[in-house]
Amino acid sequence: YKEEGVNPAGGCLPLLVQLPIFLAFYHMLAKAVELKWAGWALWIHDLAAPDPYFVLPIVMGVSQLLQQRMSPPPPDPVQRRMMQFLPIVFTAFSLGFPSGLVLYWMTNNILTIGQQMIYNSMRDKAEAEEAAALAPVKGKRGKKG
């Protein structure tokens, strides 16, 4: 990482920025009286209460797993193993979280997946253009006279 000038802790910055927002949502949803019985859609009749059918936590866990699979794996095997279990751990924790918080988390995951898909397609296109530029031009050989 020193050769490339990349800080290994740089990936933690987005998480540290989101942590205060996450904690503020948690406390707001847990204590806001006006959100009691504030329904969202279908089976969610109270954004301050946990999802009674665990649909949102499971969808959040699946979206987090998909988001993780789209990102490059860490080179360290221990870190890679830990990253594989994080969606399971976060899904288990989110079973008791307010539905509004899990909805926020799930929405963030889905938007990040979309962002990663756009980035990956742009990267693939740039790599294909670079490979085409480096490939020798076929059919243009000098003729002997």
Does the pLDDT value for residue 145 go beyond 70? no
Average pLDDT of the residues in 83-105: 90
Number of C-beta neighbours around residue 47 at 10 A: 21
Domain ranges across the chain: 8-122
**Which pLDDT score, from 0 to 100, does residue 30 have?**
72
Query: 118-139, pLDDT tens digit by residue?
Result: 998 998 898 888 888 887 755 5
Region for 128 from its dihedrals, namely left if φ exceeds 0, alpha if ψ lies in -120 to 50, beta otherwise: alpha
Query: 26-80, pLDDT tens digit by residue?
Result: 787 777 767 676 666 778 888 888 899 999 999 999 999 999 888 888 788 888 8
